[in-house]
Amino acid sequence: MLAITLILAVLVLLMFRLPYLYDPSVPAIFKITNIKHDQNGIRNFDSYMVVMNTGTTSYRNSNLYAEIYRNGEKLDCRIETLNGHDFIPTHHYKIQTMGGPGSQGFFWNPVEMIFVDFRDGTFHPGDQVTFEVYDNTTRQLLSRHTYTA
């Protein structure tokens, strides 16, 4: 019994000393599936983004916030909550509307989508758009996904 305890203790210590034994990358749970540049067949750089929960866990949408990057530069349009009802009174610069099944109710469930309509011209074809989702309580980065507009 003592030998098993010692072996487990050594393995735990090795995990702290050998960080390459785990993958530190951030998962892509919330993935951008589309960014529209046209509205009614007319190119106006609509910048309408669709994001899907591709994971297996439901997340309380009011406890999530998002930050967006274009070509590596952070945009001044943080989404303070991914709950559609709570989103209305927040300061959401450069974003016209947000909606979709993932923003309704209390949870963003697997395969549900959220639609974010940015100000026209925010994204152009070829832009690298990164969508990061954080936990509001812990400020922990939960998901990062990059998509070519």
For residue 77, give the nearest of 67, 62, 87 by alpha carbon: 67
Strand order in the sheet with 128-135: 73-74, 64-70, 128-135, 141-148
Predicted TM-score (pTM) of the model is 0.78
Position of tokens 């930050």?
67
How far is it, in rounded angstroms, from Cα 100 to Cα 112? 8
Instruction: Yes or no: say if 52 and 73 are a contact pair by the CB < 8 Å rule.
Output: no
pLDDT tens digits for 84-137?
Answer: 888 876 666 688 889 999 999 999 999 999 999 998 889 999 999 999 999 999
Residue 58 neighbours by CB distance under 10 Å? 14
pLDDT at 109: 98
Task: Show the tokens assigned to 58.
Answer: 């439901």
Strand partners, 64: 135
Residue 64 neighbours by CB distance under 10 Å? 23
Domain 26-148 listed as CATH 2.60.40: yes
Pick from 34-43, 72-81, 139-148 the range whose average pLDDT is largest: 139-148
Question: For residues 110-121, b (16+ Cβ closer than 10 Å) or e, as one string?
Answer: eebbbbbbbeee
Instruction: Yes or no: say if 115 and 52 are a contact pair by the CB < 8 Å rule.
Output: no
